[in-house]
């Protein structure tokens, strides 16, 4: 996962003076009080497939000043700029008020090409409606701690949180936070700790009825410790783990470590210092980042043998949980300015994605992470993607499959992981459709 966002610290979101009420445009500071459903059990990770949700997209006119952030750079100039995403969302179901035309860009039928902003509530609520319709349990919301600490970006991050929280309530899904530590050389434990304090004291995430818990504890996925390309030290990692697990006021969480796939053997992209072995084993559960670690059946089989089987054997002895990552394919040609097709991990019309879930089921995995629901930046999205893309630009598609194909596939995989349907090494035919 390329963590392009800068993460946030809650020091810029200090307590409101004099007991003042939150502003009307700060819904994250108020408990959600609207319609609520309870379709998905929010008390356990067991039997769930949860999607990573980035929510980092903006458009001009969305209520921020970020322009087409995360879609590209310079896109507000006719015939200018470039895209940094490799997939084009199917926006046919979005409210037109939530869309913005990209200047000078047309679809093959001559209509203007439009994009959405996750800062606006409508698109995020629609995404959660799809999750309910296709039987997807919920999300780990990516919260880049560096962005949350940036006063220029914090409002967007917090608004997306409020949108996701409302979507989970309205559609009976569950959500938990994935605190992403991709902060470059500016990373500090204080930023992470202060943000969690803000989330507990002001946003009151631990009191939200749709916030996911496990073993009676609120779930937090702490992503980014122990990678070679991230500067976090062993001492910093130990401080964060101790805080989230043991702090008398803010601890007591069920802490999942989002770490390199080779955490157990300390090979690959994992830090090799011996002290990291203890850090990895101090988490309540491990979520190995597998995306991009294999690209075909042979390399997937090697990961299954060398990583998943050994991880599960060790964790079974210790009682720790395991949340491996499934990803449908990959492409970041536009982001990396690469030749079209140069970076692609083929989706094989869903076979690549389904084979991962079949392997998880065979190994007895009870919880899986999908990377990601909406990440068109790296071509790993599973939400509705368009087959007809803007004229003159390079995008990958779902290979002629329906826009909702990967939503259907993820829903079917969820039923298999949960045990509602038996292990199948082939994609079910037909795939169940959406439910109203």
Confidence of residue 80 (pLDDT cuts 50, 70, 90): confident
- Write out the E strands in 59-172: 72-73, 82-83, 99-106, 112-116, 138-144
pLDDT digits (tens, 9 = 90+) for 208-259: 999 999 999 999 999 999 999 999 999 999 999 999 999 999 999 999 999 9
Angle at 178 between CA 315 and CA 270, to 5 degrees: 50
Among 2-6, 198-202, 381-385, the least confident range: 2-6
pLDDT of residue 25: 83
Give the per-residue pLDDT at 22.
54
CB 231 within 8 A of CB 44: no
> What is the arithmetic mean of pLDDT over 283-312?
97
Distance from C-alpha of 233 to C-alpha of 278, rounded to nearest angstrom: 13
Q: Check: CB of residue 76 under 8 Å from CB of residue 10.
A: no
- Supply the pTM of this predicted model: 0.94
- Confidence grade of residue 123 (pLDDT, cut at 50, 70, 90): very high
> Which residues have CB under 8 Å from 168's CB, separation 6+?
128, 138, 139, 174, 175, 210
Which segment of 119-128, 185-194, 375-384 scores lowest on mean pLDDT?
Answer: 185-194
Residue percentage of the chain with pLDDT more than 70: 94
Q: Within its chain, how far is the Cα of 121 from the centroid? A: 18
Domains within the chain, CATH numbers bracketed = 23-418 (3.20.20.80)
User: Measured between alpha carbons, how far is 155 from 150 in angstroms, rounded to an integer?
Assistant: 9
Q: Which residues contact 284 (CB under 8 A, 6 or more apart)?
A: 215, 217, 245, 254, 255, 256, 320, 321
pLDDT over threshold 70, residue 90 = yes
The mean of the pLDDT values for the chain is 93
How do 217-223 and 174-180 pair as beta strands? parallel
Q: Does the pLDDT value for residue 154 go beyond 80?
A: yes
pLDDT band at 331 (very low <50, low <70, confident <90, very high): very high
Mean pLDDT lowest among 72-86, 129-143, 367-381: 72-86
Q: What is the pLDDT of residue 180?
A: 97
Categorize the per-residue pLDDT at 303 as very low, low, confident or very high, splitting at 50, 70 and 90.
very high
- pLDDT tens string 156-198: 999 999 999 999 999 999 999 999 999 877 779 999 999 999 9
pLDDT over threshold 70, residue 134: yes
Mean pLDDT of 318-331: 98
Element (H, E) at 175: strand 174-180
Mean pLDDT confidence for 359-371: 98
pLDDT classification of 34: cutoffs 50, 70, 90:
very high
pLDDT at residue number 20: 40
Residue 170, strand partner residues: none
Question: What pLDDT does residue 12 have?
Answer: 29
Coil, helix or strand at residue 345: strand
Mean pLDDT of 27-36: 96
Angstrom CA distances, 247 to 270, 326, 339, stand at 27, 32, 49
Question: According to the model, what pLDDT value does residue 271 have?
Answer: 97
What pLDDT score was predicted for residue 400? 96
Name the percent of the chain lying above pLDDT 90: 91
């Amino acid at each position: 996962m390329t963590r392009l966002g800068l993460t946030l610290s809650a020091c810029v979101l200090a307590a409101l003076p004099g007991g003042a009420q939150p502003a009307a445009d700060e819904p994250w500071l108020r408990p959600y009080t609207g319609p609520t459903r309870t379709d998905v059990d929010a008390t356990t990770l067991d039997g769930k497939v949860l999607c990573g949700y980035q929510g980092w997209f903006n458009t001009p006119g969305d209520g921020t000043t970020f322009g087409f952030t995360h879609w590209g750079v310079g896109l507000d100039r006719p015939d200018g700029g470039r895209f940094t995403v490799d997939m084009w969302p199917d926006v046919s179901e979005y409210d037109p008020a939530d869309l913005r035309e990209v200047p000078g860009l047309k679809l093959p039928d001559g209509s203007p090409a439009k994009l959405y902003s996750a800062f606006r509530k409508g698109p995020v609520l629609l995404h959660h409606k799809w999750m309910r319709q296709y039987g997807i349990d919920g999300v780990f919301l990516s919260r880049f701690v560096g962005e949350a600490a940036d006063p220029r970006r914090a409002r967007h991050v917090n608004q997306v949180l409020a949108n996701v929280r409302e979507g989970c309530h309205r559609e009976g899904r569950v959500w938990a936070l994935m605190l992403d530590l991709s902060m470059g050389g500016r990373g500090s434990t204080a930023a992470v700790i202060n943000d969690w304090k803000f989330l507990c004291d002001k946003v009151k995430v631990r009191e939200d009825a749709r916030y996911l818990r496990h073993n009676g504890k609120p779930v937090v996925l702490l992503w980014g410790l122990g990678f070679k390309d991230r500067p976090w030290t062993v001492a910093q990692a130990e401080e964060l783990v101790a805080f989230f697990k043991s702090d008398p006021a803010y601890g007591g969480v069920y802490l999942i470590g989002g770490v390199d796939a080779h955490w157990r053997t300390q090979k690959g992209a994992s830090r090799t210092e011996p002290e990291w072995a203890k850090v990895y084993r101090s988490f309540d559960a491990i979520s190995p980042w597998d995306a991009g670690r294999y690209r075909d059946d042979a390399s997937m089989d090697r990961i299954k043998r060398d990583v998943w089987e050994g991880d599960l054997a060790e964790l079974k002895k210790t009682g720790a949980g395991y949340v491996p990552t499934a990803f449908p394919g990959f492409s970041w040609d536009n982001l990396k300015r690469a030749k079209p097709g140069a970076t692609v991990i083929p989706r094989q019309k869903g076979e690549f994605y389904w084979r991962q879930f079949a392997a998880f089921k065979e190994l007895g995995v009870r919880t899986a992470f999908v990377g990601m629901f909406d990440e068109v930046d790296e071509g790993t999205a599973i939400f509705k993607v368009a087959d007809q893309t803007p004229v003159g630009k390079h995008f990958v598609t779902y290979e002629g499959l329906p826009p909702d194909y990967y939503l259907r596939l993820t829903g079917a995989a969820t039923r298999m992981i949960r045990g509602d349907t038996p292990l199948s090494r082939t994609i079910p035919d037909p795939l169940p459709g959406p439910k109203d």
